[in-house]
Structure 1
């Protein structure tokens, strides 16, 4: 929604007050609209809270305030939708929306089509809480939806204008084939399908259509288990011990903090002195996760504490992520992490296998995966690891970690059930 919504009081005969709804949306653009509510004295009005303040003096004061709360929510929703439908709306448009809220007119607003809804969803929930998560879209999710929208919009132009009722299994198959022809991997295709389903579910919940094709099991993501690497504790120690020039040294230290805390790069690359808490002679890192918005309190390992002391009691200064990733491959090579790794991906509908030296696959994301896998192998309770990593289900967590079948079997073997 652009502009502001406020409630003000206008003095009328007998020192009474008429409550007005005011919307300002630009230079000399203002609409004042009578709510029809009158209070016995303008002295009963709280200008800051924009509500009735003397609840005992004013009859039905609580009901009046509840009604204003309801109107405020409705006005924000309707004006947000109006701005989506008509960027440069007029005073007459605002009055029309207010007439609908106060039931002086019936709603005649047109339903947005699929492309319009897709675009509106991205822009609206980049700034406002999403109904399912109660938070705005994270920066990464916002960029993901923007990419998906651009691709789907291009597909719609080639396929012929696509709306809700055009969503069929045949269209789904054509869309997947279209993405394969662009040489996208299965996992990348899966992300676009997931985002499209999100939009279709949201538009269905708003009553824009009654097509449920997207709820069928066959209308599915096309995930494949990509062989993402992790570094075991010996490899992390080799990285810690290798001698490096200053620039690579800082990249190494940032990476190791991620590998021993489980923080995402968006978090370990923005640590500040105020994120360090000294509790009972031990350092902890306290930070609000940029992605999940949850506050994390993570104990520092000896390696993390050594790094903090190395920088005079503060975390290492941040670096551009692409520079860290560039350095990590050089660091891995110097540390002798040169195991041969083969990776298979489905690209353009065909499976391709490539051979790499392990150091070529090290990135900032390897740090978090290494933490989760090493913590699991060490015997740390899964739910404790998930508290730090942010994984919502054990199924997703077990798919994320890179422990081998033997590692998992050894951990299970430690359970009392197998030792009676």
Structure 2
């Protein structure tokens, strides 16, 4: 059992009272002290606080003085009782091993400045989505942050078709089916729908871990992967690109062409290779004593430190450019330029694939009549297109992985691409069990 005492320990005429906590634990007596913020005079505490019997008098001044002392006593007793109860209540719910001077001072501080109760987390899906993004923004890459916002904006458009606010607990089989129907009606690709549903499930599971009630069907919502065409540049096509007559390329296209070749021989994302700089290059000697070039950098998406051997094709470009990498350019311009480079290289055969199309595309007259601030909406259109039209910044990474698969051990390839597991790498390449079984026959 614990008890509380209050002491006046200052030499000043006025001071804050000192609180002393006394308790016994494991047959050991403990005494811990800390200062309160309750101030009294030294004279009152030593001479008047404990005085409960006063000399009878009919003198008005004396009676007023006694009444004043009693009022101070009542106020003091009330405040000290409140402090005592606060400390004892806190003591009764804590492990005595955790009690020390800092703990006691914290409880006193909490008495005067009670911790604010945490704001209740939102149960509406969109409001919680905002909370989720805010919490995660310092933990995720810029690309993931953008993807989360894309899904949120889709949800906002979907919400406008509903009479009531969608709550987290509403994310169930019925929601999944209705959301899918809405997306299909608005020409979203199946793979996009699955990715958005997966993100919505992630948000709901985050809410679940924070104590918000979710549907018992949440875990049963499946987000199947839909097969998409894996577009890459073969070695033969890369040779065509390398051999483009320089007179057919302006400086922008030539710059983009070199970046494209570099990406196809380093296997990195545009967020990484577009940052390449000669200061990242270092040389190491192999077992034969031959000096080999490497580039060291940290991947933006995964935050992994990468050390990648530089292919002779990359070194040829650096040599051509006086040991400098091509000039960095923005993602949109790069995507635009490499399409044109591939067209000039003759990569115009039609193949199956998908590309982004403006679903609100209009003629010039209609465009002028529209609000200039209206946001364009793009959807993936699946069909037969010229290969050059399907080329994007990611093609370099996929080309590297696909072209060297089977000739360079998978373990080494994974080390370059940064995939966490071989299964993830094979899924990235689109290798099925049948493909793997067929490759094994090469060893029989």
Residue 261 of structure 1: aligned partner: 266
After TM superposition, which residue ranges in structure 1, 4 or more long, deviate above 6 angstroms?
62-68, 94-98, 403-407
- Counterpart in the other structure of 1:51: none
1:126 equivalent in structure 2: 137
Matched, 1:311 2:321: yes
Superposition TM-score, scaled by structure 1 size:
0.67
Q: 1:399 aligns with which of 421, 427, 431?
A: 427
Report the alpha carbon displacement of residue 164 of structure 1 after superposing the two structures with TM: 2.3
- 1:266-298: CA deviation from partner (whole Å, max 9, x where unpaired): 111111122111223221111100110001000
Q: Deviations over 1:160-216 (max 9, x none)?
A: 211122222112111111111221111111121011001011111111114332201
**Ranges in structure 2 where 5+ consecutive residues have no aligned partner:** 1-8, 12-32, 36-97, 286-290, 360-379
Distance 2:244 2:103 in 1: 67
Sort the Cα spacing of 1:250 and 1:352 in 2 relative to 1 into closer, same or farther, 3 A. Answer: closer
- Of 171, 189, 193, 1:189 maps to 193
Describe how 1:122-161 pairs up with structure 2 within 5 A.
122-127=133-138, 136-159=139-162, 160-161=164-165
TM superposition shift of 1:37:
6.9
- From 214, 218, 222, the equivalent of 2:218 is 214
TM-score by length of 2: 0.64
**Cα distance per residue 1:120-169 (max 9 Å; x no partner):** 11022112xxxxxxxx1111111111111122133234322111222221
**Count of residues in correspondence between the two structures:** 318
Distance 2:301 2:295 in 1: 17
Secondary structure of the corresponding residue to residue 315 of structure 1: coil
- Indicate conservation of the 8 Å contact 2:204/2:214, yes or no: no
Preserved CA contact (<8 Å) 2:190 2:226 = yes
What are the equivalent positions in structure 2 for 1:8-87 lying under 5 Å apart?
none
CA distance in 2, matches of 1:64, 1:313: 64
Residue 74 (structure 1) aligns with: none
Match of 1:363 among 392, 396, 416: 392
CA contact (8 A) 1:186 1:222 kept: no
Give the distance between the partners of 1:97 and 1:356, measured in 2 at CA. 71
Residue 285 of structure 1 is matched in structure 2 by 295
Distance 1:398 1:255 in 2: 23
Which structure's CA Rg is the greater one?
Answer: 2
The gaps in structure 1 that reach 5 residues or longer are 1-11, 15-35, 39-61, 72-93, 102-106, 128-135
- Residue 329 of structure 1 deviates from its aligned partner by 2.1
